[in-house]
Amino acid sequence: MQPVDNPLAVVRSVRPSIAGLRILDIGCGAGNFAGQLAAEGAEVVGIDPGVDAIRAAMAAVPQANFVEGVAEALPFDTATFDLCTMINAFHHVPEMAMQTALREAARIIRPNGIVIIVEPLPTGTFFSALRLVEDETVVRLAAQRAIETAIQSGVLSRMATLNYVRRDVFPTADGFLDRIVAVDPSRREIVEQNKSAVRTAVLAAAARDSEGSLIFDQPIKADILERA
């Protein structure tokens, strides 16, 4: 069995072959994970609230379909997807809308369908480096509470939980900052206003490899869920 240390490996742990499956990637961003799914032969639909992200995804993964929209109001018919993924995206849903988003995910999967939510935890050196730019402690914890509430209220049932540590390597602090701004462009202003302090915090949080590159670890929790 291959180690589970990335989102695609999480998917493969429950669906070794996804060729021909219809998969919805919620919070698809610029289409990175959608591209991985499509390369495995899946029929992929991505949805994201960001217009620029959707345009980038359409250009990057022309074999998939992408639509602008939000997790709490999915514009899809009931029971039309085999798999639904949310990769590092659920904590970006407004807290008041998280339960609605989970009900929507449960609604659009077919019988025996699966919802996979991969979320960063509020720990690790990547998180520590990010905090001066944006402290996601509250929203990351809210996402975990929302998942537990959906299970307790009978919206979803947990099949399994997997944990792994994502390791990111950047040649410089600016490489790290470019990554976090690409994920959320609203962070750019904070980075530019406090660049010296932010760089210092990034360097302080990082480990280093033999070539001096910066290493950051981010603990990840993956919940594999089905309709209750």
Whether residue 158 is predicted with pLDDT greater than 80 in this model: the reply is yes
For each of the domains in the chain, give its residue range(s) and CATH number, in order of start: 7-122+136-165+219-227 (3.40.50.150)
182 band by pLDDT with thresholds 50, 70 and 90: confident
User: Could you read off the pLDDT of 30-78 as tens digits, one per residue?
Assistant: 999 999 999 999 999 999 999 999 999 999 999 999 999 999 999 999 9
Q: What is the rounded average pLDDT of the residues 132-143?
A: 96
Q: What is the rounded average pLDDT of the residues 148-172?
A: 97
In the block, residue with structure tokens 């929790």: 221
Q: What percent of the chain has pLDDT over 70?
A: 99
Q: What is the rounded average pLDDT of the residues 111-127?
A: 98
Q: Are 138 and 92 in contact (CB under 8 A)?
A: no
Q: Write down the pLDDT at residue 132.
A: 86
Q: Write down the pLDDT at residue 1.
A: 54
User: Could you read off the pLDDT of 1-22 as tens digits, one per residue?
Assistant: 567 899 999 999 999 999 999 9
80 band by pLDDT with thresholds 50, 70 and 90: very high
Mean pLDDT of the residues in the chain: 96
Q: What is the pTM of this model?
A: 0.94
